[in-house]
């Protein structure tokens, strides 16, 4: 493969704030972002996807239709970044939209939709998708899958780094500076998902922009304690979770009978995210590199900085814009698959071994 081969990555996380699409090249010196684009979900489709992801019953026919509809929008997102690109585009890596993720279920299951056949057909480019299920079949959590990419990009022998991705769910990757130590990582719990769900219910806004609403409230210690008492935070890793666990219903079941000011709940949810992340970060850590939408919430970043003894900075400081790390990771995972290389890290997911991930839909 020529060093300049371009790969496209498509990612839509649990926040469903849009599809992140990138065209990138990988070289010794790092990832080059040639194109970036955030593609909106049509609002009606987004609502249907959100309903489907929140344990709402749906028929097989509904699911099949959602899969195709999502595939068309993912293909559109890919076409935007492909438009006018010069050079060979080797593959598209598409994460798909997660509708369910129950690695601890019997049997374990996870579902990402957005028909990859449609993406391959509309773009004429080999598409790799459905990355999580092979790891799950091998006894893993199927998540997080970004740590292998974080390792390739951000691991150094100079200092112990942790990469923190604050999407709907938050996940960390521990990158020991000692090359003999394995990379580990897991989902720490809610990232933005509960903060988004609460403000949406209270005010109709899709997010608490810059943490302004939370800043008007006060942290309620009793509520915070009840939220932190969830078993997930105590479970040993490997572990992964989803917005089908950390739902508004989960929060409602823990709110006290007497009413609390909405801003106080918002402040407490932000503190929950910060504390559950901080608790997962090893004391040996010398630098935390943050990516994902949460990096844009100054109040959340401030709380992390206060709770952690080491510097907390954006991945931009290490060469990659925090908004595009996840999409670039799926471009990289597609490249791994086509090269016959594993994409999972068994020490992270708990799979019985490294696996070549995904299914290939030829051009």
Output the smallest distance, CB 114 to ligand ADP, in A. Answer: 14
Q: Does 347 bind ligand ADP (CB under 6 A)?
A: no
- Give residues 196-225 in contact with ligand ADP (rule: CB under 6 A): 196, 207-211
Q: Of 9, 15, 91, 246, which lies in the binding site for ligand ADP, with binding defined by CB under 6 A?
A: 15
Query: Residue 269's closest CA among 298, 242, 236, 246?
Result: 246
* Rounded Cα–Cα distance for residues 219 and 105 (Å): 34
In the region spanning residues 162 to 181, those forming contacts with ligand ADP, defined by CB under 6 A, are 167-168
Quote the tokens at residue 20.
């992140």
Q: Is 92 exposed, middle or buried (0-12, 13-18, 19+ CB in 10 A)?
A: buried
Q: How far is the CB of 278 from ligand ADP (least distance, A)?
A: 18
Site for Mg ion in 13-52 (CB under 5 A): 13, 15, 17
- For residue 207, the partner it binds in Mg ion, ligand ADP, none, with Cβ less than 5 to 8 A by kind, is ligand ADP
Q: Which of residues 293-322 bind ligand ADP (CB under 6 A)?
A: 293-294, 296-297
Nearest C-alpha neighbor of 357 from the set 339, 90, 347: 339
Shortest Å distance, C-beta 38 to Mg ion:
8
Cα(288)–Cα(320) distance, rounded to whole angstroms? 14
Question: What stretches of 237-349 adopt beta strand conformation (E)?
Answer: 287-291, 312-314
Shortest Å distance, C-beta 347 to Mg ion = 26
Closer residue to Mg ion (CB): 25 or 165: 165
β-bridge partners, 36? 22
Sequence-ordered list of residues with C-beta below 8 angstroms from that of 146, at least 6 positions apart, any chain: 163, 165, 171, 173, 325, 326, 329
Residues in contact with Mg ion by the rule CB under 5 A: 13, 15, 17
Residues in contact with ligand ADP by the rule CB under 6 A: 13-15, 17, 167-168, 192, 196, 207-211, 292-294, 296-297, 326
């Amino acid at each position: 493969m020529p060093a300049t081969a371009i790969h496209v990555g498509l990612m839509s996380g649990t926040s469903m704030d849009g599809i992140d699409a990138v065209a990138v090249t990988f070289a010794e010196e790092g990832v080059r972002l040639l194109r970036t684009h955030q593609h909106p979900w049509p609002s009606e489709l987004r609502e249907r996807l959100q309903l489907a992801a929140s344990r709402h019953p749906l028929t097989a026919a509904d699911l099949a239709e959602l899969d195709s509809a999502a595939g068309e929008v993912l293909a559109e997102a890919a076409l935007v970044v492909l438009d006018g690109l010069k050079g060979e585009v080797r593959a598209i890596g598409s994460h798909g939209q997660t509708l369910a993720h129950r690695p601890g279920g019997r049997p374990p299951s996870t579902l990402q939709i957005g028909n990859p056949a449609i993406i391959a057909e509309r773009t004429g480019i080999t598409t790799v998708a459905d990355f999580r299920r092979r790891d799950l079949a091998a006894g893993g959590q199927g998540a997080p899958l970004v740590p292998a990419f974080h390792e390739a990009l951000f691991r150094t022998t100079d200092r112990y780094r942790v990469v923190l991705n604050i999407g709907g769910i938050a996940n960390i990757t521990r990158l020991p500076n000692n090359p003999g130590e394995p990379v580990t990582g897991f989902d720490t719990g809610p990232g933005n998902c509960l903060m988004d769900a609460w403000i949406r219910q209270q005010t109709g806004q899709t997010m608490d922009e810059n943490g302004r609403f939370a800043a008007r409230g006060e942290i309620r210690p009793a509520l915070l304690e009840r939220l932190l008492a969830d078993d997930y935070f105590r479970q040993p890793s490997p572990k992964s979770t989803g917005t089908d666990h950390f739902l508004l219903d989960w929060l409602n079941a823990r709110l006290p009978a007497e009413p609390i000011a909405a801003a106080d709940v918002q402040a407490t949810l932000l503190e929950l995210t910060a504390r559950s992340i901080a608790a997962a970060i090893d004391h040996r850590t010398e630098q935390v590199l943050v990516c994902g939408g949460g990096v844009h919430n100054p109040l959340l970043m401030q709380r992390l900085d206060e709770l952690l003894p080491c510097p907390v900075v954006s991945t931009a400081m290490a060469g990659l814009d925090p908004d595009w790390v996840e999409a670039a990771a799926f471009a990289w995972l597609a490249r791994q698959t086509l090269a016959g290389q594993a994409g999972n890290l068994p020490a992270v997911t708990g799979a019985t071994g490294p696996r070549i991930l995904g299914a290939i839909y030829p051009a």
